[in-house]
């Protein structure tokens, strides 16, 4: 099971600030000069002995200008800034490539998480998944559960934006038991 947390983003003029949305020990920091792109892992947050990957949110790119912390395990508080990014110069051959998630969001055929939590494919471990690759979804069809503090919310297929009214599941983007943030891609679909 992969635990992932997205950085919080704030803007300060031309610069982008990435902060940690939870408390823990920040480790595996990237060095100054490294390029960041959406979906990229840029460190880990240790909490009660468990490591959670910190990822760059959609729409954020830049070059790190802050120095790597001296401590291998840096204590971090809620909202502490860990990276300051400068824009990548136009024509810089080292610009990061578009992430797969960004490409998927362009065609709009991705069902996204309505809120943050843990995404489950099935109602219980001994029952079949709500949907699987090849299934056809109609409006309201259950696609999974999102758990927050032992409270489960059923997620139904809602054809909003460019999503078709009836869709065929072509890829499960979030694994069973994965932590997801609001707006994270869950399922890729195509018109049925």
What are 4-52's pLDDT values in tens digits?
889 999 998 888 999 999 999 998 888 888 888 888 888 888 888 788 8
Q: Residues 171, 137, 175, 184: is their CA dihedral positive or negative?
A: positive
Looking at the structure, do residues 47 and 77 belong to the same domain, yes or no? Answer: yes
pLDDT at 147 over 50: yes
Number of domains making up the chain: 2
H/E stretch holding 133 reads none
- Both tokens of residue 56? 């760059």
The CATH number that applies at residue 32 is 2.40.50.100
Looking at the structure, do residues 108 and 145 belong to the same domain, yes or no? Answer: yes
The last residue of one of the domains, among 35, 58, 86, is 86
Looking at the structure, do residues 122 and 40 belong to the same domain, yes or no? Answer: no
Contact (CB, 8 A) for 174 and 184: yes
pLDDT at 169 over 90: yes
Which pLDDT score, from 0 to 100, does residue 163 have?
A: 82
**Does 53 reside within a domain?**
yes
Which residue is associated with the tokens 């990014």? Answer: 85
pLDDT band at 90 (very low <50, low <70, confident <90, very high): very low
pLDDT at 108 over 60: no
Looking at the structure, do residues 65 and 115 belong to the same domain, yes or no? Answer: no
Looking at the structure, do residues 11 and 82 belong to the same domain, yes or no? Answer: yes
Which residue is associated with the tokens 């909202």? Answer: 79
Looking at the chain, list the stretches that DSSP marks H as alpha helix, in order from N- to C-terminal side.
100-107
**C-alpha to C-alpha distance for 180 and 182, rounded to whole angstroms:** 7
Looking at the structure, do residues 76 and 107 belong to the same domain, yes or no? Answer: no
Which pLDDT score, from 0 to 100, does residue 89 have?
A: 65
**Does 93 reside within a domain?**
no
Give whole-number Cα distances, 77 to 10, 22, 95, 150, in Å. 16, 7, 31, 25
pLDDT at 135 over 90: yes
Which pLDDT score, from 0 to 100, does residue 96 have?
A: 40
pLDDT above 90 as % of the chain:
32
Range of the domain at 147: 100-191
């Amino acid at each position: 099971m992969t635990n992932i947390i997205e950085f919080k983003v704030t803007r300060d003029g031309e610069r982008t600030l990435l902060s940690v949305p939870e408390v823990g020990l920040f480790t595996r920091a990237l060095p100054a000069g490294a390029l960041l792109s959406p979906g990229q892992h840029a460190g880990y947050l240790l909490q009660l002995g468990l490591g959670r990957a910190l990822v760059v949110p959609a729409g954020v790119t830049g070059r790190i200008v802050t120095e790597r912390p001296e401590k291998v395990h840096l204590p971090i508080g809620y909202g502490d800034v860990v990276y300051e990014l400068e824009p990548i110069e136009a024509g810089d051959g080292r610009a990061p490539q578009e992430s797969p998630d960004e490409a998927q969001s362009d065609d709009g055929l991705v069902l996204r998480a309505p809120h943050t939590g843990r995404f489950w494919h099935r109602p219980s471990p001994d029952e079949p998944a709500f949907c699987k690759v090849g299934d056809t979804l109609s409006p309201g069809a259950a696609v999974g559960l999102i758990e927050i503090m032992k409270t489960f919310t059923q997620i139904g297929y809602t054809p909003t934006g460019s999503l078709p009214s009836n869709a065929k599941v072509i890829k499960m983007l979030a694994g069973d038991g994965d932590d997801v943030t609001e707006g994270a891609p869950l399922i890729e679909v195509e018109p049925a």
